Amino acid sequence: MSAAIEFHEHADEEDLPAWSLPAEAVDRIRVPVTLPEQVTRDWAWGGSTGAGVRVCILDSGVELDHPLVGRVDRSVAVIRDDDGELQVVDDAEGDVAGHGTACAGIVRELAPEVELTSVRVLGSGYTGGGEILLRGLAWAIEEEFQVVNMSLSTTRTKYVERLHELADRAYFKRVLLVASAHNMPVESFPWRFASVISVGSHEEADGLTFYYNPTPPVEFFGRGLDLDVAWLNGGTLRCTGNSFATPHIAGICALILGKHPYLTPFQLKSVLYQTASNAEAAA
Amino acid sequence: MSELEAAVGAGVLGADEAHRALLQATVEVARAIYGAKAASVFLLDEAAGELVFEAVAGEGEGELIGMRFPADTGIAGWVLTTRQPLIVDDLSSDTRWSRTAAESTGYVPKSMMAVPLLVDERVLGVLNVLDRPAESRVRLSEVDLLGLFANQAAIALDLLQRARRARAALAGEGRLAPLARVAARLEEGERDTAFELLQALDRLLAETS
């Protein structure tokens, strides 16, 4: 482990200034220069397996014992209890749609040694979906997963403010939200927020090929076309959609964080930019 | 009240059929453009938590309208709740989905393009295109095209729902039913006195409001 990691793990946050910086405190907030002069893919994730990185799949659940997914460290679901309150409870349902399993399998393929946790926010009744999504996301942020895959969005503007707050909270807690963009002419969230990493699809067949988009709000394009993904009952399915491009970028982020766990979301976004397939330096 | 005006203006009874025809035309064009075996629109019945076949072109046409299944499972359910389009090939390997589909429709497609029908913030249902030709590799531009179709289908579905709500308000025991009957009778023969009465009622309501 490098000195930089030691610094962050042992710093006592209580001693650190929050709202202003007295002169004598400057020494206590020295931070390492984390990016080298030339950020290459080899520097970014060469040799990384994603080991030590906790990835959360916010979706329809993840099937247990799927050969393409492997170990799922924890599965929870957001449910409404008898009093109408939302609760996060341990979940044995697996995957109610197949989609969460697909996302988990893609992350596992790219970053084989990540720890996977499933938060099921879909499939427990159609109504109240937005509230359930917010609760699941809040839980994932409280649990401080390094990467949260969100291959979903909401069109309800009444949730925008709370989603925005959660996305900002995640950003400052170093919880990286990777969210599917919409390829339809509608407004939806949270992928439009600058604090998340938004993902659309490209047409190439390599999982590590990804592009930075110089004209956001869609910031990155990942592999999203004609993929054989993990699906229900240990099977696979050939799928297309931004939903599958998203876990590709989430997986790449997990690889990077496996090697450089101290990166903040803004640094990580810079690393993605520098290592994108359309960036000169990446070659 | 704008729905009432629209309903009376468009001819309450005719609007439903016209909007249904528009929806039908949309699924027929979608089916033709993709060279697919079938295309369909599911309407979300939010109260029942179910998806209902509202328009079908091709395989199942004429048999499936009105058929229902749970809105929170399967591929359509996922598309509905995530608002994300999804294209799936070799569907038959998804045994859970195939069984459900076969039980409800008697037809198990091999591939499916599903896209949510969104109007403003609301999700109204799902547009499906089933079984494109086996050799046609999907391109991202087709996904974008599907999104445009979905937009059109969503508008048609929205109109259909508005017409239905207006019709329900104006029909039978609905509170506004007398108004619909009056409007219908006004079209029969010379009704000068009735029109004068109507104008007087309008003035009275304007003065008291």
Do B91 and B24 belong together in one domain? yes
Which of A200, A143, A130, A138 lies closest to A167 in space, CA to CA? A138
Do B125 and B186 belong together in one domain? no
Number of structural domains, chain B?
2
pTM: 0.86
Which of B108, B114, B85 lies closest to B96 in space, CA to CA? B108
pLDDT of residue A8: 46
- pLDDT tens for B170-206 read 777 777 778 777 777 777 777 788 888 888 988 999 9
User: What Å distances lie between residue A118 and A75, A145, B85, B86, B137, CA to CA?
Assistant: 5, 11, 22, 21, 32
Cβ atoms of residues B91 and B97 within 8 Å: yes
Q: What residue in B sits closest to A153 (Cα-Cα)? A: B82
Which of A150, A145, A144 lies closest to A103 in space, CA to CA? A150
B86 Cβ under 8 Å from any chain A Cβ = yes
Which of B172, B176, B202, B198 lies closest to B187 in space, CA to CA? B198
Contact B86 A155 (CB under 8 A): no
pLDDT of residue B10: 54
Q: Which residue carries 């109507």 as its tokens?
A: B198
Do B147 and B185 belong together in one domain? no
Peptide bond into A190 cis (omega under 30): yes
Return the bridge partners of B89, or none: A238
- Tell me the backbone φ, ψ of residue B17, rounded to 5 degrees: -65, -40
Residue A19 in domain: no
Query: Containing H/E element for B53?
Result: strand B50-58
Do B194 and B163 belong together in one domain? no
B108 Cβ under 8 Å from any chain A Cβ = no
Of A188, A232, A241, the CB nearest to B87: A241
A2 Cβ under 8 Å from any chain B Cβ = no
- Is the CA virtual torsion B97, B98, B101, B104 positive or negative? negative
**Measured between beta carbons, which residues in chain B are less than 8 angstroms from residue A180?**
82, 84
Q: What is the mean pLDDT of residues B29-36?
A: 93
pLDDT of residue B57: 95
Q: Which residue carries 């992928």 as its tokens?
A: A191
Domain that includes residue B114, residue range: 2-170
Cβ atoms of residues A281 and A274 within 8 Å: yes
Do B155 and B183 belong together in one domain? no
Do B10 and B33 belong together in one domain? yes
Residue A193 in domain: yes
Of A126, A186, A239, the CB nearest to B81: A126
**Measured between beta carbons, which residues in chain B are less than 8 angstroms from residue A233?**
95-96
pLDDT of residue A201: 95
Name B203's Cβ contacts closer than 8 Å, sequence gap at least 6. Answer: none
| Paired tokens of B166 | 């207006």
Query: Containing H/E element for B112?
Result: strand B112-119
Percent of chain B clearing pLDDT 90 (strictly above): 25
Average pLDDT over chain B, rounded to whole?
Answer: 82
pLDDT of residue A106: 98
Residue A192 in domain: yes
pLDDT of residue A281: 54
Query: Shortest Cα distance from B143 to chain A (angstroms)?
Result: 8
Query: Shortest Cα distance from A222 to chain B (angstroms)?
Result: 12
Do B186 and B137 belong together in one domain? no
- Tell me the backbone φ, ψ of residue B89, rounded to 5 degrees: -110, 165
CATH of residue A110's domain is 3.40.50.200
Do B156 and B184 belong together in one domain? no
Cβ atoms of residues A97 and A105 within 8 Å: no
Contact A97 B74 (CB under 8 A): yes
Do B116 and B38 belong together in one domain? yes
Domain that includes residue A111, residue range: 40-282
* B5 confidence band (pLDDT: 50, 70, 90): low
A7 versus B157: the higher-pLDDT residue is B157
Interface test with A, best of B45, B50, B79, B82 (most A CBs within 10 A): B82
Which of B115, B121, B200, B151 lies closest to A243 in space, CA to CA? B115
SS3 state of residue B185: helix
Please give the average pLDDT of every successive group of 10 residues along chain A, which has 283 residues: 42 67 86 87 97 96 96 95 93 88 97 98 68 95 98 90 98 97 83 96 96 95 95 90 96 98 96 94 51
Cβ atoms of residues B157 and B41 within 8 Å: yes
**Measured between beta carbons, which residues in chain B are less than 8 angstroms from residue A225?**
138-140
Q: How many residues does chain A have?
A: 283
B16 versus B3: the higher-pLDDT residue is B16
Residue A146 in domain: yes
Range among A21-25, A121-125, B42-46, B143-147 rated most confident:
B42-46
Do B197 and B116 belong together in one domain? no
Do B162 and B74 belong together in one domain? yes
Helix axes B12-34, B2-10, angle to 10 degrees: 80
Q: What is the mean pLDDT of residues B8-27?
A: 75
> A63: exposed, middle or buried (C-beta count within 10 Å: 0-12, 13-18, 19+)?
buried
**Measured between beta carbons, which residues in chain B are less than 8 angstroms from residue A240?**
86-89, 138, 140, 143
Q: Over 60: is that where the pLDDT of B12 sits?
A: no
* B103 confidence band (pLDDT: 50, 70, 90): low
Which H, E and C letters describe chain A, residue by residue?
A: CCHHHHHHHHCCHHHCCCCCCCHHHHHHHCCCCCCCCCCCHHHHHCCCCCCCCEEEEEECCCCCCCCCCCCCCEEEEEEECCCCCEEEEECCCCCCCCHHHHHHHHHHHHCCCCEEEEEECCCCCCCCHHHHHHHHHHHHHHCCCCEEEECCCECCHHHHHHHHHHHHHHHHCCCEEEEECCCCCCCCECCCCCCCEEEEEECCCCCCCCEECCCCCCCEEEECCCEEEECHHHCEEEEECHHHHHHHHHHHHHHHHHHCCCCCHHHHHHHHHHHCCCCHHHC
Contact A124 B72 (CB under 8 A): yes
Residue A264 in domain: yes
Cα B112 to chain centroid distance, Å, stands at 19
B147 Cβ under 8 Å from any chain A Cβ = yes
State the Cα–Cα distance between residues A95 and A58, nearest whole angstrom. 11
State the Cα–Cα distance between residues A31 and A44, nearest whole angstrom. 19
pLDDT of residue B121: 85
CATH of residue B72's domain is 3.30.450.40
Residue A216 in domain: yes
pLDDT of residue A12: 57
pLDDT of residue A9: 46
Number of structural domains, chain A?
1
HSE of B207 in the Cβ direction (CA atoms, 13 Å)? 6
Q: Over 70: is that where the pLDDT of B98 sits?
A: no
B82 Cβ under 8 Å from any chain A Cβ = yes
Do B99 and B181 belong together in one domain? no
Residue A275 in domain: yes
